[in-house]
Structures are given as C-alpha cells and as structure tokens.
C-alpha cells in the first residue's frame, strides 16, 4: 500500500435498513491527480466523496492521506476540502471577504488572513476583481472564488460533487477547460464527481467507474474507452456493442464465440464450452453492401441516422436488437444507405475484446 497520496482500503458504507451505498472500495490516488468518479445515479459517488471529506464515516475500512489516518477526523481538521454545489458564496461580501471568511472564523488576525486570502485569489487569477461582489462575476469566476476559498485552507485534495451540473452546455465546456487548467497550475489532487461520461473523459487523468456501490473499473480515459473490463463499463462508457455467447474454440491468442449475432473472433483466451462476452466499439464497426463474412459480421437494417457533426452514428437493428456503428460521412455516402435499408456490419478481430463474465 502506498504511503503517499489518498488511499481508500476496504471501505464500506452501509446505511440503516441494510442499504449498502459503498462496497469494498479499494483505491489509491496519487498526489496531483485529477480523478473523476463516474457512475449512474445512486451508485455511491456522493457517499464516497462524503467519506473522503469527513462528512460521513465508513462502516468499515480506512481512509489515509500521505499515510495519515483520516477516519474520525472532522472535515475542518482534514487536509481535504469539499467545494459544495452552487459554491455557497456570501452574496453581500466581496471576493476578498468571501475568501478570508473561513480564516476569520478560525480566529486568524486581519493582516495574516488578508495576506493569505490575497495569495489564494491571485492563484485563481482574480486579483483584479477582489473587491467585487459575487453577482458582479461570471459563473466561471464565481467558481474560482469558491476554489480560492478552499485553497486558503491549503488542502492536499479538493473534492467537487457535480461542480458543472447546473450550468448550460456552453459554460460547462468552458468550465471544464478552466477547472482542468487550474488544477494543473495548482498541482493539487482534484476528485470530481459526475454522471456525465463526456465530462469525465475530457477532464480526468483517471476515471473511477462506479456501479451498484462498487468500483467497476479504474483507468485513464483511453483505457476505459478501449478496454472496458465488463459489460457494465462497456455499456456505461457508451457506444459499445456487447455480444454474449458460448466459447467454441481458443487458439493462437484468439477465441471464437458463438453468439446470436453469428460467430465472433476476438483476442484473448478461454475454454471451449464456457460463456463468453465481447465488446466492439461503434467507431470500429464498418458498414458495406458486401455479403456477411463467416466471422465478425452481421446483416442489419438501418433504423435511423444521427448526425454528430464530425461523424455519423447509425442506429442499426439486428433481429429486433439494437446495434451501433459510427462512420464518417464519406463512408456513409459510399454505402448509399437510407433508413430501412439492409447493410452488412463488420469489424476486425483486433478491435473486439473479451469481457469479464
């Protein structure tokens, strides 16, 4: 176990009524990482964040930062701080007063707290607006004030629960870049909770995918997009087709699985007769008017076409089941497909991958 960074070991949180919100969480976060907890509603993201921030206690397990045990330590005494949603800024106080408020409560004298607050405001690039009220700032600037207010406490990690949740899409995009840039400048660990895949993929050094109270997978955005470990991650990360069947044979580093979608060949190993599942990314699926090949190909009907700007998502139908492909405009034009037309969807062996059962 690492003695630097934030470490969650065998962490559980069971609420009265036998509600297991967080189960068997083991996670090591290095100092300075941008970590995103991603998962559907109710999977335990906020609960995990509250356990780290000290707003709730684990039923069992330990949480340490740089080797120091956090269990039982109050939020104010922890070297990790939560930025609450809506930033909770005082509307009638200036930026400076907002930022120094916590230090004032701690009883720090005026000169010292002004000095520290000014330094934090400078860090987030708001020195020129120090005497403005929150309403005289943009949404992005308000978030910077909220961060400055947390930074004066010199935390080792900053926790953010759905920080971009309520913002309109354009502002969200802008804030992603801002927040990420600020984290890089500060070099502090950020733990950011969201249920938005795109947000996670665009911001995280590593994503922790949660589902059903457990960690389903931890990985870089690329790892998760290319190598989802199981069906949950493959489907939740989006645009994956998951096929199930029985392993027919295994040789030369590949397995052949018999599925209702025909035979599929995929890199990996397995035992004939056992269950096998594989995932194939929509963007790795090609469409053509060719005959269906013996492996890795299905005849599908084009249900509808979704224009994404830089690519085209094809919602296909295989015997009543959805199948997805993402192609570029050129390819789409070549096939001359129209909604209702039958086409052949194929993919390469190396683009598919085996999932854990």
Ligand X SMILES: Nc1ncnc2c1ncn2[C@@H]1O[C@H](COP(=O)(O)OP(=O)(O)OP(=O)(O)O)[C@@H](O)[C@H]1O
Q: Which residues bind Mg ion (CB under 5 A)?
A: 46
Q: Which of residues 2-21 bind ligand X (CB under 6 A)?
A: 15, 19, 21
In eight-state DSSP terms, residue 127 is: G
Cβ neighbors of 125 (< 8 A, separation 6 or more) are 144
* Residue given tokens 């920080």 in the structure block: 163
| Pairing label, strands 157-161, 80-83 | parallel
Shortest CB 43 distance to ligand X, Å: 4
Measured from the CB atom, the residue of 46 and 296 that comes closer to Mg ion is 46
Q: Does 67 bind ligand X (CB under 6 A)?
A: no
Shortest CB 334 distance to ligand X, Å: 42
Q: Does 58 bind ligand X (CB under 6 A)?
A: no
Q: Does 42 bind ligand X (CB under 6 A)?
A: yes
Cα–Cα separations (whole angstroms), residue 188 to 49, 65, 325? 16, 13, 39
Q: Which two tokens stand for residue 137?
A: 């700032």
Q: Is the separation of the CB atoms in 260 and 337 below 8 Å?
A: no
Q: Which of 6, 27, 35, 45 binds ligand X (CB under 6 A)?
A: 45
Q: Which of residues 79-98 bind ligand X (CB under 6 A)?
A: none
Shortest CB 27 distance to ligand X, Å: 15
Q: Does 77 bind ligand X (CB under 6 A)?
A: no
Q: Where are the alpha helices (DSSP H) in the chain?
A: 45-53, 95-105, 110-123, 139-151, 169-186, 197-203, 221-226, 231-236, 329-335
Q: How many CB atoms lie within 10 A of CB 21?
A: 20
Measured from the CB atom, the residue of 39 and 58 that comes closer to ligand X is 39
Q: Does 39 bind ligand X (CB under 6 A)?
A: yes
Entry field: residues in the chain: 357
Q: Which two tokens stand for residue 217?
A: 């997978």
Span of 41-49, 138-146, 284-292, 330-338 interacting with ligand X by CB under 6 A? 41-49
* Residue 162 CA from chain centroid, whole number: 11
Q: Is the separation of the CB atoms in 108 and 50 below 8 Å?
A: no
Q: Which of 43, 175, 237, 266 binds ligand X (CB under 6 A)?
A: 43
Q: Which of 27, 35, 44, 164 binds ligand X (CB under 6 A)?
A: 44
Shortest CB 29 distance to ligand X, Å: 18
Measured from the CB atom, the residue of 40 and 340 that comes closer to Mg ion is 40
Cα–Cα dist 276/236, whole Å = 19
Shortest CB 83 distance to ligand X, Å: 15
Number of residues that bind ligand X (CB under 6 A): 12
User: Taking CB positions, which residue lies at the least distance from Mg ion?
Assistant: 46
Q: Does 177 bind ligand X (CB under 6 A)?
A: no
Measured from the CB atom, the residue of 43 and 256 that comes closer to ligand X is 43
Helix (H, G, I), strand (E, B) or coil at 350: helix
Q: Which two tokens stand for residue 327?
A: 């192609």
Interaction site with ligand X (CB under 6 A): 15, 19, 21, 39, 41-47, 195
């Amino acid at each position: 176990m690492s003695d630097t960074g934030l470490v969650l070991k065998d962490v559980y949180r069971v609420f009265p009524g036998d509600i297991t919100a967080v189960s068997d969480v083991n996670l090591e976060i290095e100092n300075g990482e941008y970590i995103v907890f991603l998962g559907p509603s109710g999977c335990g993201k906020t609960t995990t964040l509250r356990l780290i921030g000290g707003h709730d206690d684990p039923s069992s397990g330990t949480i340490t930062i740089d080797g120091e045990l956090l269990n039982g330590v109050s939020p104010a005494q922890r070297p990790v701080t939560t930025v609450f949603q809506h930033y909770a800024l005082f509307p009638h106080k200036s930026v400076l007063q907002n930022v120094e408020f916590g230090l004032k409560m701690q009883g720090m004298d005026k000169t010292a707290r002004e000095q520290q607050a000014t330094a934090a405001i400078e860090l987030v690039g708001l020195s020129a607006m120090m005497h403005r009220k929150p309403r005289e700032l943009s949404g992005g600037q308000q978030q910077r004030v909220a961060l400055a207010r947390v930074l004066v406490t010199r935390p080792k990690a900053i926790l953010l629960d759905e920080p971009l949740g309520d913002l309109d899409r354009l502002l969200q995009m802008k804030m992603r870049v801002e927040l990420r840039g600020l984290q890089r400048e500060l070099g502090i660990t950020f733990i950011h909770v969201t249920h938005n895949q795109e947000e996670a993929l665009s911001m995280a050094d590593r994503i922790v995918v949660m589902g059903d109270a457990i960690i389903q997978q931890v990985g870089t955005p690329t790892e998760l997009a290319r190598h989802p470990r199981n069906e949950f991650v493959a489907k939740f990360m989006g645009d994956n087709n998951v096929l199930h069947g029985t392993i027919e044979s295994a040789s030369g580093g590949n397995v052949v699985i018999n599925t209702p979608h025909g035979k599929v060949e995929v890199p990996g190993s397995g035992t004939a007769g056992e269950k096998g599942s594989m995932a194939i990314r929509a963007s790795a699926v090609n469409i053509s008017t060719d005959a269906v090949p013996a492996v890795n190909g299905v005849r599908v009907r084009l249900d509808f076409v979704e224009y994404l700007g830089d690519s085209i998502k094809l919602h296909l139908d295989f015997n009543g089941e959805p199948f997805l492909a993402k192609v570029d405009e050129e390819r789409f034009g070549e096939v001359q497909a129209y909604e209702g037309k039958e086409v052949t969807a194929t993919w390469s062996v190396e683009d598919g991958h085996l999932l854990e059962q």
